[in-house]
Chains A and B, each alone.
Chain A
Amino acid sequence: MSDAVSELRDVEVTVNGTVRRERVEPRLTLADFLRHTLGLTGTHVGCEHGVCGCCTVRLDGAAVRSCILFAVQAHGRRIETVEGLADGESLHPLQEAFSDHGALQCGFCTPGFLMTAIEFLDRYPDPDEEAVRDALSGSLCRCTGYQSIVAAVLDAARRLRQGG
């Protein structure tokens, strides 16, 4: 084994607009970095192998699984998490739509759905139901049966097109 194993690395990332500098082990996943190092526990961890979508955040704008990305890989990059969606006390239109449609029950999956959907709506502002279902297919929800989530994303698309 190389003596480099326990080498710590400095990472500097911009999280929801704020620059954060930390020293981390290379094996620390971005999800654990956000939750444990930075205390941003809005990003949830379900499966830890890329399947459930709970841990989805945006890396330089792209929706990615933070459980299979290492914090060291985010060095110099921009991260957005669910905490960055609301503007102070006022919810993002996508969050409002989730609330209005009852698109969550336990809420465990919700941060991942929100971060996946927001990236999708950036690319496809006027999607049909089929496209929404396809976009959300990588996120698992054990409570809602998805109907209300799909309805909320379609509604959010309308609200966003009308300027929130």
Chain B
Amino acid sequence: MKPAPFAYRDPDTVDEVLALLAEHGDDAKLLAGGQSLGPMLNMRVVSPAVVVDLNRVKALAGRGGSASGGFVIGALVRQADLEDDPAFAAAQPLAAAALPFIAHRPIRNRGTVAGSLVHADPAAEWGGVVLALDARIEVRQAGGASPRTVAAEDFFTGILETAVEPDELLAEIRLPPWPEDARWGFREFARRRGDFALAGVACRFEVDGAGGGRSVRIGLFGVGDTAVRARRAEAVLEGETPGPEVFAAAAAAVQDEVEPLDDGHASAGYRRHLAGVLVEDALADAWARNGGDEGEAA
């Protein structure tokens, strides 16, 4: 299991990366953490003529709060960088809660958020997270065209397929400012710790002045070709007073709307069942986490 020969380029700047992509197009593969590309090269699932290593491009390694109060994650930011960053946990509690579920520490030491998104494994945690957070993804292309921004909900286009074209670079991920008092939950079920989840959910909602759910986002992963928003379940909670009955109704809606895959790890039926259970639990976690309805009870 050794990779086929390839030419190796390790540019220092984004412009050089884009120029190499323009020159080699489909024959080139970008290398970020290598935690998905490495196995694919070793197994010769892919054999690019040129590997363009992003790891020396300092401009892609930045992370931190943006002027608007959001959080920007550069393409070279590794999962472990965020895991160890208290500022990230404070600014983005939902995403921070998902990190320890992603593979194992040695994988997170190399693997990047951008690489996870572009690889687009349907069971990757980041898929559910960016959907729940309405993240925006900046993509740059070769040839001097101006960068374009893709909304998380338009990002995943198919199994292992995204809106990022082969000659494009995902430059950064922008998480919008965390809404004050937003409630969030994250749940997944995997056979063993660190395995890809059989199903999982990242959710967030706010509560409006009348006590109803608002801006409800439920991002599912592991239950279809791509990460998806559970739109019917979101609608169940939108405007309704959160509580066990509404959460159960949302769970039923999820089980109705998902189209999970049957594979060697789990049947579609089991995944459908799991999706409902996890959504119900994650919504309940979200509600409990910020004190639930204690405001009213007091």
Residues of A participating in the B interface, judged by any CB pair closer than 8 Å: 1-2, 4-7, 9, 25-27, 29, 32, 48-50, 53, 56, 59, 62-65, 67-70, 72-73, 116, 119-120, 133-135, 137-139
Given B8, B51, B110, B194, which contacts A137 in the complex, CB threshold below 8 Å?
B194
How far does the alpha carbon of A1 sit from the alpha carbon of B26 in the complex, in Å? 12
Residues of B within 8 A of A32 (CB): 2
Answer yes or no: B50 CB below 8 A from chain A CBs. Answer: yes
Check B105 against A2 for contact (C-beta < 8 Å): no
Answer yes or no: B215 CB below 8 A from chain A CBs. Answer: no
Check B43 against A49 for contact (C-beta < 8 Å): yes
How far does the alpha carbon of A59 sit from the alpha carbon of B34 in the complex, in Å? 14
Given B7, B53, B104, B192, which contacts A7 in the complex, CB threshold below 8 Å?
B7
Residues of B participating in the A interface, judged by any CB pair closer than 8 Å: 1-8, 10, 24, 27, 34-35, 38-39, 41-43, 49-51, 53, 55, 80, 100, 103-107, 109-110, 192-194
Check A4 against B50 for contact (C-beta < 8 Å): yes
- From B4, B5, B103, residue with most partner A Cβ within 10 Å: B5
Check B109 against A49 for contact (C-beta < 8 Å): no
A125 to chain B, nearest CB (A): 16
How far does the alpha carbon of A73 sit from the alpha carbon of B35 in the complex, in Å? 14
Residues of B within 8 A of A133 (CB): 193
How far does the alpha carbon of A68 sit from the alpha carbon of B51 in the complex, in Å? 14
A124 to chain B, nearest CB (A): 11
Check A2 against B3 for contact (C-beta < 8 Å): no
Check A138 against B106 for contact (C-beta < 8 Å): yes
Check A50 against B49 for contact (C-beta < 8 Å): no
Residues of A within 8 A of B8 (CB): 7, 9, 26, 70, 72
Residues of A within 8 A of B194 (CB): 137-138
13 A–B contact pairs at CB < 8 A? A7-B8, A27-B2, A27-B4, A29-B3, A50-B107, A53-B106, A59-B109, A68-B34, A70-B34, A73-B53, A73-B55, A119-B106, A135-B105
